[in-house]
Amino acid sequence: MTLTRDEAKARMQAHGQSYKVEAVDLIPADEPITFYRHGDWEDLCEGPHIDRFDREFAFKLLTVAGAYWRGDEKRPMLQRIYGTAFWTKEDLAAHLVWLEEVKARDHRKLGTDLDLFSTHEEAGAGFVFWHPNLGLVRREIEAFWWQEHLARGYEPVYTPHVVREKLFQVSGHLQNYADLMYSPMSIDEILYRIKPMNCPGHILIYRSRGRSYRELPLRWAELGTVYRYERSGVLHGMLRVRGFTQDDSHIFCTPEQLADEIAGVIELITHTLRTFGFQYTAYLATRPEKAIGAPEVWERALEALKAAAEKSKLPLVLDEGGGAFYGPKIDFKVRDALGREWQNSTVQCDFNLPERFDLSFTDKDGEHKRPIMVHRAVLGSFERFVGGLIEHFGGRFPLWIAPEQIALIPIREQHADYVRELAGILRAEQFRVGCMDEPSHMNKKIQTAEKARTPYMLIAGDREVAERTVAVRRRGSREQTVVPFEKFHALVRELRASRSLELPAPTA
């Protein structure tokens, strides 16, 4: 049934449902307010419900957890009951198995088990501390990121974390993004803000001197840490945080260059996602309710994105109203090993900020023209991307980014010198090696390497020392293959150089 707002609130008040009285007021004025009834039971509900309750189905209550009303820690804490239902017991059983795998891959659990990262109440919720193991993973990803960007003509820039509030007034962030910004700080009676985005800083670099059409396109890249306020109720490990490093880049170009530049970004994004083994879907996000710029300007930007996607043979799914406040965008969502979809890369076309900051370049006729700005992030944020990687791989990182790539294990103490020699050879080529030469039982060392999810173990005894071979044991396998050390060495060189996702056994 559909009720008026006053009728719905009166009905909820009569039942003593104060939270649902408030929920009624949250329903937009142009949307119907619906109640559903089954026998004597009725409730405020968007619907639809199943057609009949005498049909067999399988359900299970999963857990109970505390949750602040509307995610606001200043509001009362309620109890949230989680459950799931399927038409058949078989489907329910399969889903419960899937949920167990989700738990096993939870990056927060693996973050502790593998000593990857932590968060601390003393520092505040939503701020991630990267431990050495995950720092090594990040370093490899950053090196790959810079290699790919420099090869495509990007130049590095660096901008401050704190700038004057006035900058965000000009950019429109204060008018359209203030809810996600931290409060201003007063320094020498001037208001400053910690940055929620890197783009205004890149704009100031562009505007620091006159620009010629001969310089364009300019492609500037920064791994810039930004800070955005998120309610504590929505924070989640590395996936939803308050401070994160964004792989931010901006391109300043002419209208004639725009389609090629966006196509170049699409190529870089798809290459990067494939390198990490992700499948993806691209979404075309259009003008949101809170936006700056004239509709015709938005339409031009939208057409440019469509043209670039068509040129790149990239199919798009429409995301109505999902654009940034300054322009439309193409968002890439990746699917992980469990079939879940994550927000990831983005490319955004912006005609508005160049206008607001009065950016210009001199064309071949000596006239001042307005550049177009392309905002783009390939990984999105390092925190979210790496948190997703942990779950995607279940902590079993491919060799090239694994914190420890190879564990060397002597069977007895007399084999330790040989193992140390091999460790030195590998470390000289910057392989990350664990030399487990301490006086403890070999099986314990193997268990330690397995727990750390090290890709390869090299085990050495009398035969291996005499023949300069190694017994290679891959992660997840109990089988061992004895090969000359040089053969294994060549294998891991190739796997690292190609950034392979595979973990093959060496051929004997």
Give the strand pairing for 372-381 and 77-86. Answer: unpaired
8 Å CB contact between 246 and 198:
yes
CA 426 to chain centre: 32
Residue segments in the chain with a per-residue pLDDT below the cut of 50? none
Q: In sequence order, which ranges of 245-294 are alpha helices (DSSP H)? A: 258-275
Per-residue pLDDT of 228-287, as tens digits, reads 998 877 889 999 999 999 998 999 999 899 989 999 999 999 999 999 999 999 999 998
Q: Return the pLDDT at 2.
A: 86
HEC readout, 175-234: HHCHHHCCCCEEECCEEEEECCCCHHHHHHHHCCCCCEHHHCCEEEEEEEEEECCCCHHH
Q: Return the pLDDT at 81.
A: 94
44: tokens are 């405020």
35: tokens are 């109640």
Per-residue pLDDT of 29-63, as tens digits, reads 888 898 888 777 788 887 777 776 677 789 999 99
Q: Name residue 427's amino acid.
A: R
Considering the domain 121-387 in this protein, what is its CATH number? Answer: 3.30.930.10
Q: Return the pLDDT at 235.
A: 86
8 Å CB contact between 323 and 356:
no
> Count of alpha carbons within 13 Å of 251, Cβ hemisphere only?
24
**Sequence spans of domains, the chain:** 2-84, 121-387, 399-498
Q: End-to-end distance of the chain based on CA atoms, in angstroms?
A: 73
What is the third-level CATH fold of 2-84? Threonyl-tRNA Synthetase; Chain A, domain 2 (3.30.980)
289: tokens are 């309710």
Per-residue pLDDT of 335-354, as tens digits, reads 888 888 888 899 988 888 99
8 Å CB contact between 442 and 490:
no
CB neighbourhood size of 120 (10 A): 10
HEC readout, 456-487: EEEEECHHHHHHCEEEEEECCCCCEEEEEHHH
Q: Can you tell me the distance from the alpha carbon of 382 to that of 387, in angstroms, rounded to the nearest whole number?
A: 8
Catalytic annotation, residues: 199, 228, 246, 248, 250, 329, 375
One fold for 2-84 and 399-498? no
Q: Return the pLDDT at 213.
A: 97
Q: Return the pLDDT at 439.
A: 84
Q: Return the pLDDT at 55.
A: 75
Q: Name residue 246's amino acid.
A: Q
Q: Return the pLDDT at 474.
A: 97
Cα–Cα nearest to 153, from 225, 260, 259: 260
HEC readout, 283-336: EEECCCCCCCCCHHHHHHHHHHHHHHHHHCCCCEEEECCCCECCECEEEEEEEC
Q: Can you tell me the distance from the alpha carbon of 410 to that of 419, in angstroms, rounded to the nearest whole number?
A: 6
**293 Rama class: left (phi>0) / alpha (psi -120 to 50) / beta:** left
Q: Return the pLDDT at 468.
A: 96
Q: What does each C-alpha distance from 229 to 68, 232, 331 come to in angstroms?
A: 17, 9, 22
The CATH superfamily label for domain 399-498 reads Anticodon-binding domain (3.40.50.800)
Q: What angle do CA 144, 146, 147 make, to 5 degrees?
A: 65
